[in-house]
Amino acid sequence: MKAELNSSTQTFVAVQAYTEAGPGDLSRKVLAQNRLNPVPKVLLTTDKLEILDIDKNFFQDIPVGYLNVVTATFSSYDHSVYWFNEGNELLVFNIETECKSKRVSFR
């Protein structure tokens, strides 16, 4: 038997044998996980910041402001881009909420 499972789901599975003598005991339940492992997003830095979602073939511009980006990184844990600008400010942009905020300024 083959079941079509949705991606990123958890299913409990148990088996039971049937023979001419009748049904056997039900096995203990086992957790089966069908996890989707998408291609990671790529952070592109040139004169601006962009996120490239390879699965969706989609670019998302990150609003950095008027100061140039010095260094940047992407966190898949919280779906955010972090960067330092020329003004020594640490900024963050959450991709899911599309909210940008300044975390700290080192002036």
- Mean pLDDT of residues grouped by 10 in the chain (107 residues)? 61 81 85 64 73 80 86 86 91 90 83
pTM exceeds 0.75, yes or no = no
Please report, for residues 24, 26, 40, 77, the alpha-carbon distance to residue 36 in angstroms, rounded to integers and kept in the order given: 34, 29, 12, 16
Domain range annotation of the chain? 41-105
> pLDDT digit string (tens) for 38-50?
556 677 766 678 8
The predicted structure's pLDDT at residue 67: 87
Q: Is 93 exposed, middle or buried (0-12, 13-18, 19+ CB in 10 A)?
A: buried
Please report, for residues 52, 91, 95, the alpha-carbon distance to residue 39 in angstroms, rounded to integers and kept in the order given: 10, 25, 16
Average pLDDT, the chain: 80
